[in-house]
Amino acid sequence: MSFRTTLAATFAATLFSIPAFADGIMVMDPYARAASPSAKSGAAFMMIHNETGQDDTLIAARSDAAARVELHTHIDAGDGVMQMVEVEEGFPIAAGDMHHMKRGGDHVMLMGLTGPLEQGASIDVTLVFENAGEVVFTIPVDNERKPPADAHGHGGHGDHDH
């Protein structure tokens, strides 16, 4: 890797590690991924900190990277099988609290991708909160990031149409 490429990669990593702020909502460590380059769907993960002083709820998400964007989680369907479902009521985040959107748990589902989620690229995402309104930020694509030990993974349903 050349010095120029290394410098550009370092700059991009630093830029994307800076939290996004809007009206007291802070988005930290966001990343998006797809199960494969030909996947029709992907997901975005992040930590959301509510510093608004009042309880709020993440009620929707939007992105030009996908035809449809929904809030999802995984539930135990029995016999140790995890099933992904839409969370229409959204994710409540109490004042001063954090909500961890992670693989195998709550996440932003990107369905009908308008293009591949390529390693090192980025996508713009808008989170919509009941009280704080819209938070727009850029998410890096990181298909190489490994899930934390407590996650059930996000592979296996990367090509599902919901």
| Rounded Cα distance, 91 and 56, in Å | 9
> Which tens digit of pLDDT belongs to each residue from 43-61?
999 999 999 999 999 999 9
Stated as kind and residue range, the H or E segment containing 149 is none
Cβ atoms of residues 61 and 125 within 8 Å: yes
Q: Which CATH number, 3.40.50.300, 1.10.10.10, 3.30.70.890, 2.60.40.1890, labels domain 3-140?
A: 2.60.40.1890
Locate tokens 């990277």: which residue?
A: 65
Closest CA to 121 of 12, 41, 18: 12
How sure is the predictor about 77, in pLDDT bands with cuts at 50, 70 and 90?
A: confident
Domain boundaries, the chain: 3-140
Classify residue 37 by burial, with Cβ atoms within 10 Å: 0-12, 13-18, 19+.
exposed
